[in-house]
Amino acid sequence: MAKAQFEVPELGEYVEVPALVEGTMAHSKPFTAKAEFQEPLGYPGELPEDWQEKAIGKMGDLLGKYRSFRVFLDSCVKCGACTDKCHYYLGTKDPKNMPVARQDLLRKVYRRYFTFAGKYFPKLVGATDLTREVLDDWYSYFHQCSQCRRCSVFCPYGIDTAEISMAAREIMDSIGVGQKYCNEIIGKVFRIGNNLGLPGPALADTLEGLEEDVLDETGVDVKYPLDEKGAEILVVTPSADFFAEPHVDGLIGYGKVFHEAGVSWTLSTTASEAANFGMFIGSYENMRRISMRVREAALELGVKRIVFGECGHAWRVAYSFLNTLAGPFDFLDPRYPVPQHILEFTYNEIRKGTLKLDKSQNDHMVLTYHDSCNVARASRMGSFPGGQFEIPRAVIKAVCNNFVDMDPETTHEKTFCCGGGGGLLTDDLMELRVKGALPRMTALKKTVEESGVTHMAAICAICKSQFTKVLPYYGLEMDQIVSVHQLVSNAIVLTGQKSGDEEED
């Protein structure tokens, strides 16, 4: 088991609602962004003298622009339905990690400056001035929300804490208090094209290596093209897919599916990243700038369709915002949705019978599936309601003989966050990440013990990276997390593929 500098919660049969321990995560704060990471995103490099005034001004801007933000701040009736629904509260016991308490950190300032009662009778309505202490609390606790939206499923008014935490981060950025991890990464996307800072030649090299590996293993010349003009499909995928385990096994699977489907496809150096961290910091402007690269790449390469790889929040941005931020995509083939998910593509091919699949290639595993928050609760997939739940499961069942779902209270729209979403996948927040993974780890361990589950599949790069890190803290193995297209890749029998005996020769 990994050695922790903090107490790792014990796994029980079910997650219990913990007794409150005031202030237990007050110390948890991500590194702040220096001026060099703030300024390229259009934010000040440090806290200005008149920061209170500027922050209140920014809050006023957001209230004017986003009706939902004001409605969420006005409509909470303190019913308590959300209090025990957040994985960070369940894992840390800190009462400020209850969704309603997190919202109140911002709501009390909103009331003070934007409501009649708060201006004249602040104590009566729990309104407070925006002080340095309040700002510090914002920085800490709005970086303990992975914007997973689980709490909103249980709120009778549909109040979305994720939107409140995005707004809080946008206000903080506007006064020079940004988070290093997200802002440095967004800068890298602008400068180099992807989160990992991989330049074009490094991508080309990696893809060439994949082609050689697949050829060696199968005897079939499957292509992993980059910047191929005139290809039918542009694939935009998280940069983790280019090299990290288990992500890259998924990318190998995409290539095999396209090969067997007989369609031409390409990756692009211009849009070599599906992730869009503009969403995590609540900045539509940065989200738009990042999204525009997808449009540029599609025009540059003359493709007819755009398909997104396995990435949760990228799919949310693509599905919910791409057309607004970077559209219209009227130059693409109107017969296909813009964008399309790689799972939809593979699902359709399976239904058409294009793919020859040998499920027994995955018989060494008993699979379960982790619904990623941004796919489950912030987008859809395919052409029917609930497609985001059914399509991944249908694909897994088409390529594996052994599948078991986890406790229904932790799957589909009630899924628990992996603990590392929303811009929190950084080592400076490891305690939060490990504790926040408690509900998912509890459900997983139960299926391991009761149903012999050996592996958990996911379709989100952040979930996969997070689980690789946190599984060992809970006595599980880091390689128990797999990509869904890794399973597809194992099962596909390519046309002309050499047999197992030939491989050994």
Binding residues for ligand SF4, per CB under 6 A?
A: 76-82, 85-86, 88, 99-100, 102, 145-151, 155, 157, 159, 161-162, 165, 417
Q: Which is nearer to ligand SF4, 188 or 370 (CB)?
A: 370
Q: Quote the least distance from Cβ 442 to ligand SF4, whole Å.
A: 16
Stated length of the chain: 505
How far apart are CB 323 and ligand SF4 at their closest, in Å? 25
Residue closer to ligand SF4, measured from CB, 149 or 247: 149
The answer to whether 485 and 249 have CB atoms below 8 angstroms apart is yes
User: What distance lies between CA 177 and its chain's CA centroid?
Assistant: 23
Q: What angle do CA 116, 122, 124 make, to 5 degrees?
A: 100
- The secondary structure of 283-351 as a DSSP string is -HHHHHHHHHHHHHHHHHHT-SEEEE-S-HHHHHHHHHHHHHHH---TTS-TTS-SSEEHHHHHHHHHH
State in angstroms the smallest separation of the CB of 133 from ligand SF4: 21
Nearer to ligand SF4, 143 or 393 (CB): 143
Closest CA to 84 of 157, 18, 37: 18
Using CB atoms within 10 Å of the CB of residue 240, give its burial: 0 to 12 exposed, 13 to 18 middle, 19+ buried: buried
Cβ nearer to ligand SF4, comparing 206 with 415? 415
Residue with Cβ nearer ligand SF4 (270 or 411): 411
List 482's β-bridge partners, or say none. Answer: 457
Q: Which is nearer to ligand SF4, 145 or 168 (CB)?
A: 145
Q: How far is the CB of 61 from ligand SF4 (least distance, A)?
A: 23
Whole-number minimum distance, CB 249 to ligand SF4, in Å? 29
How far is it, in rounded angstroms, from Cα 77 to Cα 490?
51
Q: Output 217 or 413, the one with its CB closest to ligand SF4.
A: 413
At closest approach, how far in Å is the CB of 186 from ligand SF4? Answer: 21
Smallest distance, ligand SF4 to C-beta of residue 416, A: 9
Separation CA 102–CA 83 (nearest Å): 10
| Per-position b or e across 14-43, b if 16+ CB within 10 A of its CB | ebeebeeeeebbeebbbebbeeebbebbeb
Quick one: tokens of 282?
A: 């609540």
The residue (of 347 and 416) whose beta carbon lies closer to ligand SF4 is 416
For 394, phi and psi rounded to 5 degrees?
Answer: -65, -40
CB of 265 to ligand SF4, least distance (A): 35
CA distances from 249 to 169, 356, 485 (A): 34, 19, 7
